[in-house]
């Protein structure tokens, strides 16, 4: 299991991408209690898409809205798992 050690066998300048990913993850988690899963998830999704090399604005806008919203309502309505809405919305 695990992807097995390739992360650190690479040249240092490549590490910028994973580092950016980690930073945006950390930001998302920090803001999660305030923004909630939906409001926080959309910019986080968009950020990760950009870091993964996606540059088409329409694609980014479409998927970063559709997937978090689908997940949020799928888990809430389908599986009765209440994801945090965020203090802003309360």
Partner 1 sequence: MNPDIFQGMIQATHPTGLIATAFGSLLGLTVGMIPGMTISAGIIIVLPLTFVLEPAISISLLLGLYAGGMMGGSFSAILLNIPGTPSASATAMDGHPMARRGEAGRALGTAIIASFTGGLFSFICLYFIAPSLAELALQFRAPDLFGLVFFGLTIICSFATKSIIKGLLSGLIGLIIVTIGQDPIMGNPRFTFGDPDLLSGIHFLTAMIGLFAIPQLMDNLLEIVKRKTSYRAESGFGNILPTLTDLKSIRLPTAIGAFIGTFIGILPGAGGPIAAFISYDYAKKSCKNADSFGKGAVEGIAAPEAANNAVTGGALIPMMTLGIPGDPITAILIGALLVHGLAPGPLLFMEQGDFAYTIIFSFFWANIFTLIVALSSLRLLVKVLATPKSILMPTIALLCVIGSYALRNSFFDVYIMFFFGLLGISMQWLQIPVVPLLLALVLGKQLEEHLRVSLTASKGDFTVFFTSPFSLFFLCLSVVSILWPFISARRKKITAAAVN
Interface with partner 1 (CB under 8 A): 1-8, 10, 14-15, 17-18, 20-22, 25-26, 28-29, 32-33, 37, 41, 44-45, 48-49, 51-54, 63-64, 67-68, 71, 75, 79-84
Beta-carbon neighbour count of residue 48 at 10 Å? 17
Give the length of the chain. Answer: 90
What does the block give as tokens for 57? 């604005």
Least distance between partner 1 and beta carbon 39 (Å): 13
Pick the closer one to partner 1 by CB: 33 or 57. Answer: 33
Taking 3-state DSSP, the helix, strand and coil percentages for the chain, each rounded to the nearest 5, stand at: 70, 0, 30
* CB contact set of 37 (below 8 Å; sequence gap of 6+): 68, 72, 83, 84, 85, 86
Pick the closer one to partner 1 by CB: 39 or 71. Answer: 71
Least distance between partner 1 and beta carbon 15 (Å): 7
Least distance between partner 1 and beta carbon 41 (Å): 6
């Amino acid at each position: 299991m695990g992807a097995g050690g390739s992360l650190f066998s690479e040249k240092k300048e490549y590490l910028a991408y994973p580092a950016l990913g980690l930073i945006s993850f950390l930001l998302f988690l920090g803001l999660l209690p305030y923004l909630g899963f939906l409001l926080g998830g959309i910019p986080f999704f968009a950020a990760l898409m950009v870091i993964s090399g996606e540059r088409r604005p329409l694609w980014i806008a479409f998927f970063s809205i559709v997937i978090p919203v689908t997940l949020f309502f799928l888990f809430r309505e389908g599986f009765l798992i209440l994801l945090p809405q965020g203090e802003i919305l309360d």
